[in-house]
């Protein structure tokens, strides 16, 4: 579940190789919220945590905040795993198998 949440954020932020060929398609309001949330990531651990907290706390995405310390920590770890190295189907398989 946390890998899927992190993957959604990675996709909507376009933080994967070839992202320009696969832009997210959603309402302008959702895309604007994601862009604002992505801007919280200043490249520091604190910035990434603020970004993930805002993402999980955005009621427009989930109907209510789903942010909890444990969920935030797990999504942060998966976000890092998805963005530290170029993604491929092989790498995704490795991430899934490691669970």
Contact 24/12 with Cβ under 8 angstroms?
yes
pLDDT digits (tens, 9 = 90+) for 43-94: 999 999 999 999 999 999 999 999 999 999 999 999 999 998 877 778 778 8
- The predicted model scores a pTM of 0.87
Structure tokens at 71: 């969920």
Q: Are 2 and 75 in contact (CB under 8 A)?
A: yes
Which of 71, 70, 38, 45 lies closest to 56, judged by CA?
71
Q: How many domains does the chain have?
A: 1
Domain span at residue 74? Answer: 2-97
């Amino acid at each position: 579940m946390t890998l899927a949440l992190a993957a959604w954020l990675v996709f909507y932020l376009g933080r994967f190789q070839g992202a320009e060929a696969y832009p997210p398609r959603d309402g302008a309001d959702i895309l604007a919220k994601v862009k604002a949330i992505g801007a919280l990531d200043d490249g520091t651990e604190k910035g990434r945590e603020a970004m993930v907290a805002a993402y999980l706390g955005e009621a427009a995405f989930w109907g209510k905040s789903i942010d909890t310390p444990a969920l935030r920590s797990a999504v942060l770890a998966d976000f890092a795993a998805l963005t530290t190295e170029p993604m491929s189907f092989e790498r995704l398989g490795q991430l899934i198998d490691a669970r």
